Copies of this chain bind each other. A is one copy, B any other.
Amino acid sequence: MKYPPSLVALIRELSRLPGIGPKSAQRLAFHLFEQPREDIERLASALLEAKRDLHSCSVCFNITDSQKCDVCSDPSRDQNVICVVEEPGDVIAIERSGEYRGLYHVLHGVLSPMNGVGPDRLHIKPLLPRVQEGMEVILATGTTVEGDATALYLQRLLEPLGADVSRIAYGIPAGGTLEYTDEVTLGRALTGRQRITRN
């Protein structure tokens, strides 16, 4: 027995999505087969409309459907802090924490020589003219090897511009127990300890 060609094509396209292997793609395709036509049409047009409407903010490279994103066009945001993140999803995550009122800059990746990603593949160059002397730049790339390397690279670029460069804190996540925290995190949480007594 052979798969019908349109089923083969659908499974192939679905398995190109990240985190979806051939088995999941097949399961998804069979699921979609059972859905009413309107649902499939809604999914297909959501895909096409998102691709048509969405692009990167001309200032910070966050996802937007306007020329400038919501954050960049909001004058009430603190214009003296820029938080540098890897991906648009990181902006959402930080906004959700409610702890930040400054601007963003989205790199769209991290430096990764192993995967052939050098500084030219990231939105690093447009960051430099945004940084003024005395401004704070928070490097909020991930605490992975690549995230750390990217932060170090940016630190070296930004310090000569007179920026006040900081790195998000390493530490124990909320709800974490010391027993189950890995030794690197624990070591860094100790080094980064914060004084709480006022004497």
Are B50 and A9 in touch, CB under 8 angstroms? Answer: yes
Roughly how many angstroms separate A34 CA and B43 CA in the complex, as a whole number?
A: 18
Which chain B residues border A2 with CB–CB below 8 Å? Answer: 70
Are A26 and B70 in touch, CB under 8 angstroms? Answer: no
Question: What's the dominant secondary structure at chain A's contact region?
Answer: helix
Which chain B residues border A41 with CB–CB below 8 Å? Answer: 48, 51
Name the residue on B nearest A53 (C-beta): B6
Of A89-97, A132-140, A147-155, A171-179, the one contacting chain B is A89-97
Are A89 and B34 in touch, CB under 8 angstroms? Answer: no
Which chain B residues border A31 with CB–CB below 8 Å? Answer: 17-18
- List residues of A whose CB falls within 8 A of some B CB: 1-7, 9-10, 12-14, 16-19, 24, 26-34, 37, 39-54, 63-66, 69-71, 74, 87-89, 91-92, 95, 108
